[in-house]
Every structure is written in C-alpha cells, then in structure tokens.
C-alpha cells in the first residue's frame, strides 16, 4: 500500500521544528525514515503533517567534552560507528551502531530515531541504559533532560510528549576511565540485517589491570528484548563488583539476571529460551568486558 | 486476536473511599488516558472518543461503554466496544476487584479480555499489552490523585439490567 496523503515540511532549525509542531495537529517527526514509512505505508500511522528533520544540520554532531560526550539526535548510525571520539570513550556505543541492520539502514538511520522508536529490541536504548545516559527533549519551553531510566516507559512509549522532540543524548565518561574499563555488546541474531532476539551490554571497570586478578570496581549489565523496556540488572552488577569476576560471581549474576528477565514470546524465540539466553549472555558480556578492561 | 491484560494496584485508601470515585463517570473520564470526549447516554451507558498511541500509530476510537455489574465497594464489570475506522476495532470486558488490605488500604486487581481486529491487531499482544498495562497504571495513579486531593465525587453509574458480560 501507499501512505495516506500528508503535508510535507522541511525545516532547517530546531526552532522551526518546534514551531511547526505547535502549529499543526497530527504531525509526526521523521528522521532516517527506516520505521515510520513502513507504518505509514501500512496505514497504521496516518499523520496529517510530516516534519522532516534531515535539513536540521545542527542536530548532527558528536561533541566530546570534559567528563562527557554528547551526540546529536540526527547523527547517523554510520557516523556513530565510525566516530573516533565515541570509539575511544564509549566504544560500546560504536559497536551497537555498527550492528544495526545493514549498511543502507546505517547510512540514514539516526540515534534520535532509534531512541524515539523505543523498540524493546533496539540497540541504543540498551546501550544508553548501560552507560546511564541522559536524553535531551526540546519544546517551545526549552530543553529538559531525562535520565534513560525514566525515559523508556513501555513498548514504543517514551517520555517524549506532545510537541516535544529528542535533540540529543549525553553520556557521562568519568565512570569509564580509559585503560581500565572494558565494554561489550552482544546480540543474539542468527540472521544479519534483522532485529536481535536478545542483546546484552556489559561494562566493567577494574582497579588495576596490571595486577594479578584485578578487582571489578564497577559493573553495568543491561539487556534488550528481555522485557518491554531496556532491562538493567543492578543486583547482578553488585554480584560481580568487588570480585575478580570469578566463576561463582558470574554464576550468581546470571541467576539474578534470569530471574529479572520478563521476555515475550516471539515466533522464532520463545520466552523460556530467551530467559535461558539471558543467563548465558550475562556471563559472556561481563567476561568479554572484563577481558577487554585488562587487555589495553 | 484475543488478548488478556491484567494488573494489580495498591493504595492506602480504603475500598469504600475509592468506590465513589470509580463510579463517578466524570472523574473516570477525566483520568482515562487519551479521552477526548465523553457523553452520557444513561447511568449505564456512555459513548466516548479516545485516542491512544503505540509509537506513531495513534488510532482514534469511538467507544461505547456499558456498566454490567456493580457490587459496592468491591467489584465493577464493564464492557467496551470501540471502532477505530480503517485502523480496526476492539471489544473488551474488564473486571475490577477491590479488597481491603491488612493495613486498611486497598488491593485493586483488574483483568480485561479483549478481541482486537483490523490492522491494529498486527501490532501484537506484546506491544498492545505493554502499552495497555502502562495506560491503566496511569489511570489508577490519576484516580488515586483525585482521592488524595479530596475532589468531590458523585456516584452515578448503575449496572444495565439485561446486559451480559460475554464477548460476541
């Protein structure tokens, strides 16, 4: 099918986008258009106005500052995957971008689109949750910053309200000192270019990688598609913190993570299978993150 | 496609305190997510226009709601039929039960069985269930807020005598 008719707008600044949203009812923002077009062509989504963000150049940036890195909403997956600044400070984000779909999607798909879609299987929501990022939401009354833990509300439902737009994401980098931090992003995906059945993001910071059996100072563990929003398992993180990532600690973390998961059945992956995989991916992601923290 | 949603909600207010609010159609309409308009047909029947969204999918439904059973202050059963034009339709029977908790508050349990048809059904139970449960959570939070604020409530709903709690 083809979409229902709509009026197309092509603003060139955030200010213009915000005023267009206020001016028109039933308006939808479009970024890389890798998901919205499908829903429009199926006539599930029938906006009267389409506001195209591709002319808003001010939203495509990677800004590395002291203690944080900020990425604009219109930055493409490809740019994120190839960014030296991101690869150096928060490599897991570059890895996650590199694993989204195929090259044609990565060339146009954007960070803001991926966050706004809030698909439970999405890479960015899970990785940004592991990184404890902040999402900036902009409207006529200015910017407001929302922590990722509050941003994702339900399946494809976020904190973004009427006449608001996502303008960027900011990741604090202080918790991840280069040289003793390792990050890992793993997908359970049997076929390339599809959505993963499950993904895990693991981050480990050790005290001193040159010592024998370095101790985990801080760990992060999150999952995609293990629940209807990104799942962070803080109790599993605590289980490995203060240890040298022993098998026992990993086993305990895996048990806790499996208990916390509440995945949905899918045609090619039953809930029970995904739950089992949560345990396996807990161990793999934390192990890989730990090994990377030591190997620098 | 047939779906079952359910959930539980707790508050420190007693069931008989809450009851008045749940049977005041104006307060219910005020708290219902996406409610654009509601008209009273009788104390048992209401028609409403509701827009709810899953991402960029935002169907507007014309809803006919009927009160089927009422047992003050513990049980309320309603039926709703909604038509979203070309996007599809649903019919649902919801049952809400309130019981007093040990500390004098209320444990509210709800369950809804729905038949969803048309292209909205292609979103699947995973999406619709997640969003429905979240929206109902927002509804109960709002209702609790009304009770806490001490908003005036007038019990006006009445069960329809000959109605049945079955889906067609």
Contact assignment for A157 to B55 by CB distance below 8 Å: yes
Report d(CA A81, CA A97) in Å as an integer.
5
In chain A, the residue whose alpha carbon lies closest to the alpha carbon of B86 is: A43
A96, part of any domain: yes
Nearest to A228 by CA among B111, B35, B54: B54
What are the backbone angles phi and psi of residue A234, rounded to the nearest 5°?
-65, -30
Supply the CATH number for residue A46's domain.
Answer: 3.30.43.10
Asked whether residue A79 falls in the same domain as residue A33, the answer is no
- Mean pLDDT, residues A88-111 taken together: 96
Work out the pLDDT band at A72, boundaries 50, 70, 90. Answer: very high
Asked whether residue A194 falls in the same domain as residue A277, the answer is yes
pLDDT of residue A134: 98
pLDDT of residue B123: 84
Contact assignment for B120 to A47 by CB distance below 8 Å: no
Which of B86, B87, B130 lies at the smallest CB-CB distance from A155? B130
Q: Where are the domains of chain B?
A: 2-149
pLDDT at residue A187 is higher than 90:
yes
Q: pLDDT for B64-85, tens place per residue?
A: 999 999 999 999 999 999 999 9
Note whether ipTM > 0.85 here: no
Q: Mutation test of the interface with chain A: which of B55, B61, B85, B122, choosing the one with the most A Cβ atoms within 10 A?
A: B55
Nearest to A221 by CA among A188, A260, A269, A174: A260
Asked whether residue A75 falls in the same domain as residue A147, the answer is yes
Chain B contact for A118, CB < 8 A?
Answer: yes
- Mean pLDDT, residues A258-275 taken together: 92
pLDDT of residue A77: 98
Chain A contact for B134, CB < 8 A?
Answer: yes
pLDDT of residue B152: 95
Contacts B53 to A, Cβ<8 Å:
157
Chain B contact for A238, CB < 8 A?
Answer: no
Chain A contact for B138, CB < 8 A?
Answer: no
In chain B, the residue whose alpha carbon lies closest to the alpha carbon of A37 is: B56
**Which ranges constitute the DSSP H helices of chain B?**
15-22, 25-31, 124-149
What is the percent of chain A with per-residue pLDDT over 90, rounded to a whole number? 92
Asked whether residue A168 falls in the same domain as residue A63, the answer is yes
CATH topology for the B2-149 domain: Alpha-D-Glucose-1,6-Bisphosphate; Chain A, domain 4 (3.30.530)
Q: pLDDT for A31-50, tens place per residue?
A: 999 999 999 998 889 999 99
The number of residues in chain B equals 168
**B90 in Cβ contact with B116 (< 8 Å):** yes
Which of A40, A47, A156 lies at the smallest CB-CB distance from B54? A156
A33, part of any domain: yes
Asked whether residue A34 falls in the same domain as residue A122, the answer is no
| A residues 239..278 contacting B (CB < 8 A) | 264-266
Asked whether residue A193 falls in the same domain as residue A281, the answer is yes
A2, part of any domain: no
pLDDT of residue A252: 98
Asked whether residue A198 falls in the same domain as residue A121, the answer is no
Token pair of B154 as six digits: 């007038």
Question: How many folded domains does chain A comprise?
Answer: 3
**Residue A108 belongs to what domain range?**
57-172
Asked whether residue A66 falls in the same domain as residue A30, the answer is no
Chain B contact for A236, CB < 8 A?
Answer: no
Asked whether residue A157 falls in the same domain as residue A233, the answer is no
pLDDT of residue B112: 93
Supply the CATH number for residue A113's domain.
Answer: 3.30.465.10
pLDDT of residue A143: 98
A1, part of any domain: no
The CA–CA distances, whole Å, from A273 to A187, A192, A260, A268, A283 equal: 14, 20, 14, 10, 16
The more confident residue out of A175 and B123 is A175
Which of A36, A120, A265 lies at the smallest CB-CB distance from B56? A36
In total, the C-beta contacts within 8 angstroms joining chain A to chain B are 56
Work out the pLDDT band at A265, boundaries 50, 70, 90. Answer: confident
Contacts A39 to B, Cβ<8 Å:
55-57
Segment among A12-21, A188-197, B24-33, B100-109 with least mean pLDDT: A188-197
Contact assignment for B126 to A156 by CB distance below 8 Å: no
Contact assignment for A157 to B131 by CB distance below 8 Å: yes
- Mean pLDDT, residues A67-91 taken together: 98
Asked whether residue A63 falls in the same domain as residue A168, the answer is yes
In chain B, the residue whose alpha carbon lies closest to the alpha carbon of A160 is: B55
Q: pLDDT for B28-55, tens place per residue?
A: 999 999 999 999 999 999 999 999 888 8
Mean pLDDT of chain A: 96
Nearest chain B Cα distance for residue A180, angstroms: 39
Residues of chain B with pLDDT under 50: none
Q: pLDDT for A103-146, tens place per residue?
A: 999 999 999 999 999 999 999 999 999 999 999 999 999 999 99
The more confident residue out of A265 and A133 is A133
**A62 in Cβ contact with A80 (< 8 Å):** yes
Nearest chain A Cα distance for residue B132, angstroms: 9
Asked whether residue A90 falls in the same domain as residue A108, the answer is yes
Work out the pLDDT band at A205, boundaries 50, 70, 90. Answer: very high
């Amino acid at each position: 099918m083809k979409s229902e008719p709509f009026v197309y707008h092509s603003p060139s600044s955030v200010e213009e986008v915000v005023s267009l949203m206020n001016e028109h009812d039933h308006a939808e923002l479009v970024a890389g258009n890798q998901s919205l077009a499908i829903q429009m062509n199926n006539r599930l989504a029938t906006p009267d106005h389409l506001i195209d963000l591709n002319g808003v150049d001010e939203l495509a940036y990677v800004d590395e500052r002291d203690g944080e890195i900020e990425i604009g909403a219109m930055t493409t997956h490809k740019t994120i995957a190839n960014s030296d600044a991101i690869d150096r400070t928060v490599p897991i984000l570059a890895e996650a971008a590199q694993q989204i779909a195929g090259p044609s999607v990565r060339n146009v798909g954007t960070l803001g689109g991926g966050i706004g879609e809030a698909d439970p299987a999405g890479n960015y929501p899970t990785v940004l949750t592991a990184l404890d990022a902040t999402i900036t939401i902009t409207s006529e009354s200015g910017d407001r910053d929302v922590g990722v833990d509050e941003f994702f509300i339900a399946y494809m439902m976020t904190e973004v309200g009427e006449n608001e737009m996502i303008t960027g994401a900011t990741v604090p980098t202080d918790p991840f000192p280069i040289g003793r931090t390792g990050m890992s992003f793993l997908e359970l995906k049997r076929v390339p270019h599809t959505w993963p059945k499950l993904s895990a993001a693991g981050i480990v910071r050790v005290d001193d990688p040159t010592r024998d059996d370095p101790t985990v100072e801080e760990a992060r563990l999150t999952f995609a598609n293990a629940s209807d929003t990104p799942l962070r398992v803080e109790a599993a993180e605590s289980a490995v913190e203060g240890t040298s990532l022993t098998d026992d600690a990993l086993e305990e973390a895996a048990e806790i993570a499996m208990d916390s998961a509440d995945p949905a059945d899918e045609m090619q992956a039953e809930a029970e299978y995904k739950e089992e995989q949560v345990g396996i991916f807990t161990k793999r992601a934390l192990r890989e993150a730990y090994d990377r923290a030591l190997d620098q | 496609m047939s779906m079952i949603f359910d959930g539980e909600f707790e508050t420190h207010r007693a069931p008989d305190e809450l009851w008045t609010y749940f049977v005041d159609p104006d307060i219910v309409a005020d708290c219902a997510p996406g409610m654009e308009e509601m008209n009273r047909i009788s104390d048992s029947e209401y028609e409403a226009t509701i827009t709810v969204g899953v991402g960029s999918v935002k169907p507007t439904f014309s809803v006919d709601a009927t009160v089927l059973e009422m047992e003050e202050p513990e049980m309320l059963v309603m039926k709703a039929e909604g038509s979203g034009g070309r996007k599809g339709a649903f019919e649902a029977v919801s049952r809400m039960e309130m019981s007093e908790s040990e500390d004098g508050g209320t444990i509210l349990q709800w369950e809804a069985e729905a038949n969803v048809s048309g292209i909205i059904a292609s979103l699947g139970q995973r999406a619709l269930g997640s969003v429905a449960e979240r929206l109902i959570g927002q509804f109960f939070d709002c209702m609790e807020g009304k009770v806490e604020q001490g908003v005036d409530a007038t019990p006006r709903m009445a069960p329809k005598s000959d109605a049945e709690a079955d889906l067609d």
